[in-house]
Structure 1
Amino acid sequence: MSKLIHEEIDKEISGKSVNIAVRMLKPELDQFMKGLNKAVQAPAKTAGKAVVNKIHPTSGRQSIKTLIKQGQGVSSIPLADEGLRDFQKIAKKYGVDFAVVRDREKSPPVYTVFFKAKDTDAVTRILQDYSAKQIKKPSVAKTSVLEKLKKFKEIVAAIPKKVAEKKKERSL
């Protein structure tokens, strides 16, 4: 009988010691599992970004840093302020990747347009379209809306106004 009691006490002691060990190791185990989970998910996140970049790569206007990172060489052309918007529209039409940098030292703004070296043929075509568009633009300056309004005010002021006469009649 005493052997049976000793075995039961041993089981109880071993169960309690296991419970104590589990309680002591649980915070460390939780931290280990969190770290393991992060390590497993990190490559999946970067792989997801790579897939997104393959589906939607950066194209069109971008920063000079992004353009250079693509590792295909960079060429540049200077461009005046007036034609920057037209150039961007035409470049978007041809699907050329480019970056625009403003030269801050010059008083009328001058921009430098950087593009991939492999796109030189497309850029020459863009410049042809751009120059044709600049030639077609009328050189006559448009009158402002305020000037038109002033002109119409003068016309209205020159029109004689009707004089309304009011007569009161007494009835008897």
Structure 2
Amino acid sequence: MADDVEQQDGIGGADGLERLWTPYRMAYLRGENKPADHSAGECPFCRIPQQDDDAEGLVVRRGKLAYAVLNLYPYAPGHLMVCPYRHIAEYSETTDAEAEEIAGLTKAALRTLRSVSHAEGFNIGMNQGAAGGAGIAAHLHQHVVPRWVGDQNFMPVIGHTKTLPQLLQETRALLSGAWA
């Protein structure tokens, strides 16, 4: 939503820009949902699948060894993660069965996101360890980020703002209902 208050540039004059507020991002910037320690008891990826309500936890799909969940702080609409239930930090620690299910859920996520949102491409990846960019390094998670030509326009590049056209609960219900 654009702010009605005139913003001042560094010299004192109005800069002519409108503001799009994304206050939900402050929780991420403050680290409010990051675990206090690296134990399974503090880990959000361990707590989420234990909730009774998949919609509340933004769980899109459950498997036997892994699950798909929407990212609470998405890079793009439909950004989800595939996580093993087991509290492990690195891909090399997965069992063959876990690695196979993570791959299967990832493939299904791609098909579902493409059919629901008409994604034109994807970024898929795992950030391993704090040095590798993992926000929660103690629990393995693979990002699946749908992409569209031109989606990295001026908003994120210049405005440092991501726009999401739908509430996360609505996105979760759409993806969960379309998952084949």
Give the TM interval when normalised to the shorter protein. under 0.3
Q: Larger radius of gyration, structure 1 or 2?
A: 1
Higher relative contact order (CA 8 A, sep 6+): 2
The normalised TM-score by structure 2 is: 0.21
The normalised TM-score by structure 1 is: 0.22
Instruction: Answer 1 or 2: which has greater helix percent.
Output: 1
